[in-house]
Amino acid sequence: MVPAMVKAVFPGSFDPPTFGHLNIIERARTIFERVLVVVAVNRDKNYLFNTEERLAFMREFVAPWPNVEVHACDTLIVEFARKHSCRVLLRGVRSVQDFSYEFELSILNKGVGPEIETFFMPTDQKYFVLRSSAIKELASLGGDVSGMVPSVVATALERFRTVSS
């Protein structure tokens, strides 16, 4: 059987988006027919940036890539993937710790949607230390995050600075 063109979903909080996220998307878009970036909306999570802000960031960053689109999702990601005919659930992996968490998540997702396959993409070595939570903390303390996130994100993070420089 000849494999069909495959669409992938890349879900995440993207709170905020980092160069690590964008690197995964940039590489994935050359492999999959379409990449649907899905901004998670989870009422139990305290996001620094609201849904509209996270969507706007991602839409701006993927604008140069015609086969990448951005959505919000407040349901199970497997349901979203099924509804949009995506066969692949893409996750980035930075470390063994990431992998063990992602592996368990993939088993759970396989139980809910057996037809959807999780693919793991290892981070580029340049980005393996980039973690949204650490970047938020660093920025709040006045650290320089300009090499970690696009400049519009670095500027937006300045409003959460708790120490003056």
Closest CA to 36 of 81, 69, 84: 69
Q: Which two tokens stand for residue 108?
A: 């759970």
Sequence-separated (6 or more) residues with CB below 8 Å from residue 72 = 38, 39, 41, 51, 55
61 binds ligand ADP (CB under 6 A): no
Catalytic: 83?
Answer: no
Closest CB 33 distance from ligand ADP, rounded Å: 20
Q: Of these residues, 21, 54, 87, 91, which one is catalytic? A: 21
Instruction: State yes or no: residue 71 binds ligand ADP (CB under 6 A).
Output: no
Nearest to 42 by CA among 73, 18, 16: 73
Query: Which string of x and - marks every residue 16-45 that binds ligand ADP (by CB under 6 A)?
Result: --x-xx--x---------------x-----
Q: Please report, as ranges, the residues that interact with ligand ADP according to CB under 6 A.
A: 11-14, 18, 20-21, 24, 40, 91-94, 98, 123, 127, 130, 132
Q: Which residues are catalytic?
A: 21, 45, 94, 132
